[in-house]
Amino acid sequence: MNMIPLFVAVPLAGAFIIPMLSRKFKWFPDVLGNLVTLALVIMSFAVIGKSGVYSMGAWKAPIGIVMVLDGLSVLLLVSINVIAFASTLYSIKYMEQYTSKLRYYSLFLLMLAGMNGVVLSGDMFNLFVFLEIASVASYALVGFGCEHEELEASFKYLVLGTVASTFILLGIGMTYGSIGSLNMAQISEQISQNGMNNALLFAIALFIMGFGLKAALVPFHAWLPDAHPSAPAPISSMLSGVLIKALGIYTLVRFLFNVVGVDERLLMILMVLGALSMVIGVMLAFGQWDFKRLLAYHSISQVGYIILGIGLGTPLGILGGLFHLINHSAFKSLLFLNAGAVEYSTGTRDLQELGGIREKMPVTANTSLVASMSIAGIPPFNGFWSKLIIIIACVQAGRPVFAALAVFASILTLASFLKVQKYVFFEKLKEKWNDLREVPALMSLPMVLLALLCIVMGVLLLPIGNTGVLENINILEPAVKVIMDGTDYASKILGM
Amino acid sequence: MIYILCLIFFMVGLYGVLVKKNIIKIVLGLIIMEYAVNLFLIMLGYREGGVAPIISEGDSITEFIKHSVDPLPQALVLTSIVIGLGVIALMVAICIRLYEKYGTFDITEMRRLKG
Amino acid sequence: MVGMTLIVKTVARWVKSFIFLYGIYITLYGHLTPGGGFAGGVIVACSFILLILAFGKEKALKRISKALASELDSIGALMFLIIALLGIFAGGTFFINFIQKNAPGQDFHLLSAGTIILSNIAIAVKVGSSLFMVFVILAVLRVVKKGDKLEMIQTNMRGEE
């Protein structure tokens, strides 16, 4: 399995070649950026169903740094790279409004390398380094427009993100101080042999705070509604679609389930955080009139669903949570791309100014209809199935209160997206939008792709998982198995 | 316990980030936090009267481990200093651009974003 | 007169090459003594920053232009990546020290430790040029008042436009 380091090396190489050559060729950043993401998509599909451990420089696990590929990593890799490909395709036309394409693609690929590194890393400190690469690139990308709002949002995001990183680093120091190793498998082995101590508990608290801030769970969510709308649309879709998941949810789940091993208390914390995010996020979204800001608040709410599902700790709950994770990355990226397309054509994001642009922009309107129905949980789209699984899992686990909250949040989401559809796309066409044009084909292509993905995942993915047809493209079951195995992770990694 | 000192440092930095209104002071608070963590990491590897962690022929390994300084935290601190450098450069650049747009360093006057 | 006083200029003219050489020494001996690519790169960048402080940025930018620094920045990073990737072809593993495996040098000599010295050079190029860029960009931008609007302009070190 010598493909594992290439997931980091290929985007890094792209990020450094682009500024060298694109002074001479104007078309170069577009072409190379898209080629790199396309190659990553192909590579991530090629590793589905595989697993392996890669020791950097042939130094074995306790001494050297290892990269680990297992079911959970594969799930994240596929969703990251597919969304990244859609975003770069979209950027070709969209980013022409901004000045410097080469810096944009360079930072984009750095962020991608960081995210791929985070999900593949098998070492706490290596994970921190990749996390910082991805975060620093995203801070710069949020402020890419260099206007008042962008800079303010970027500064806010930068300060909170750095505080979170410092907490994580302190937690890593605490863990190293009490265990004496940074390899996740070894930490896990030591904990299961020697049990917990107070320093480790403190480290866990620091990690929940730090990773929770990166994932924008509710007490730590303040930066997200500013940062995500301020970025250019393809970046918003990357940030909301996959960055908060790779940097927040994946790391939190990996650390709590596979390294520490969960118990009743930790699961309860996760569930309460998830339920809080779910309800408060959607309530805050309700009063928003800025298209992208509304979507950003919904991201908080949907992240709550994922954490609630995983926090249940039952196989069905985890399946629902992970399924919702990939569904959310598909439909939320699509929604942000739609918002970007609307802004590209009309120049505004204010819902009250828009109206009736359905007949003028049919592709945008129809894809956003698909995405809205997915996020609101209308059958047969993908969001419905994952929400249904989460709610059933809540009931089965004997947590009817959480199930009721999930239904309640789902209804509010539906209402909120009915508002979006009504104000933006339906209603009567306003006078000033009479000569509106549909966005260029290169921008509508990724939107159509993602919309198809939403439908296909809703119709096909679950039957595949249950009947065993097409076993080799099933990516959910292995991921669920990794989480359910818990701290057996250690023996598997050290055994390989 | 000398680790308490690091935590006090950390809290001083956090106080600066949370309370101060001037964005340059917020940046300074972040720097203090980062360095408190670096100090903590360095002290994890410290041994009184320790020797450099280079093993030579004839040393028994168990004896050597008791006396040598742990090199791993030093590597971690180097890496985290480099990351800190990048973050601080970006932060200062954003501060300059913010000053250009708003004409002030006061964070209470930067209120375009609401809700 | 651009730059600082005569005393500073004279001293800077004397020590700048020593600082530069010291940076190169730290880089090359990174695998034997304390130091390495990052520290060496910072010291090399410092010698140019001293030039900027003493003589103004024109003199430093005459030696290394912004475009060249940006190219060097990418080249350093790519060199490091290529060294890591060569490991796959030469030794079968990413980041493997393939030179040390095949032709180990004598201990505690300059040509030992295989690819580490090459990596150190790559890091020094990358760190030196990017720190230089950061300093130039932060130093030359000034925010001035034009009418009732603030604007960002490029100035020399004395704040002249």
CB contact under 8 A, A19 and C75: no
> What's the domain count of chain A?
1
SS3 A98: coil
State how far residue B115 is from chain C, nearest Cα, in angstroms. 28
The percent of residues in chain C predicted with pLDDT above 90, rounded, is 16
State how far residue C99 is from chain B, nearest Cα, in angstroms. 22
CB contact under 8 A, A225 and B115: yes
Question: Where does the pLDDT of residue B50 fall: very low under 50, low under 70, confident under 90, or very high at 90 and above?
Answer: confident
Phi, psi of C116 (to 5 degrees): -65, -40
pLDDT reported for residue B35: 92
C79 touches chain A (CB under 8 A): no
Mean pLDDT of A187-210: 88
The two three-digit tokens of residue A57, written as one number:
């420089």
Residue C155 CA to residue C136 CA, distance in Å, equals: 11
Q: What is the tens place of the pLDDT at every residue in A383-442?
A: 888 899 899 999 999 889 999 999 999 999 999 999 888 888 887 787 777 777 888 888
pLDDT of A146 strictly over 90? no
Report the amino acid identity of residue A305: Y
- Hey, of B68, B79, B87, which one would you mutate to test binding to chain A, going by the most A CBs within 10 A of its CB? B87
The answer for residues whose C-beta is within 8 angstroms of residue C148's C-beta and 6 or more apart is none
Higher per-residue pLDDT: C146 or C97: C97
For residues A114 and A165, is the Cβ–Cβ distance under 8 A? no
Mean pLDDT of A45-64: 78
The percent of residues in chain C predicted with pLDDT above 70, rounded, is 80
For residues A279 and A401, is the Cβ–Cβ distance under 8 A? no
Closest partner residue to C138 (CB to CB) among B78, B93, B100 is B93
Listed by start position, the domains of chain C span 6-154
A200 assigned to some structural domain: yes
B115 assigned to some structural domain: no
> What's the domain count of chain B?
1
pLDDT reported for residue C149: 58
Mean pLDDT of A167-179: 90
For residues C16 and C44, is the Cβ–Cβ distance under 8 A? no
The two three-digit tokens of residue B1, written as one number:
């316990």
Closest C-alpha to A104, from A132, A146, A149, A76: A146
Mean pLDDT of C133-141: 80
Q: What is the tens place of the pLDDT at every residue in A248-266?
A: 999 999 888 888 888 888 8
Average pLDDT, chain A: 86
pLDDT reported for residue A346: 86
Average pLDDT, chain C: 79
CB contact under 8 A, B99 and C150: yes
B14 assigned to some structural domain: yes
C77 touches chain A (CB under 8 A): yes
Q: What is the tens place of the pLDDT at every residue in A323-380?
A: 899 899 999 999 999 999 988 888 888 888 887 788 888 888 899 999 999 998 888 7
CB contact under 8 A, B97 and A159: no
A248 assigned to some structural domain: yes
pLDDT of C157 strictly over 50? no
What domain range is B88 assigned to?
3-46+58-109
A-B Cβ pairs (cutoff 8 Å, strict): 88
* CATH at B28: 1.10.287.3510
Question: Where does the pLDDT of residue C153 fall: very low under 50, low under 70, confident under 90, or very high at 90 and above?
Answer: low
pLDDT reported for residue A441: 86
SS3 C65: coil
Across A192-201, A369-378, A409-418, C147-156, least confident range:
C147-156
CB contact under 8 A, C143 and B96: yes
A1 assigned to some structural domain: no
Residue A276 CA to residue A264 CA, distance in Å, equals: 18
B53 assigned to some structural domain: no
Give the residue from chain B lying closest to A230, CA to CA.
B113
What domain range is A179 assigned to?
6-495
SS3 C20: helix
B52 assigned to some structural domain: no
Give the residue from chain A lying closest to B109, CA to CA.
A152
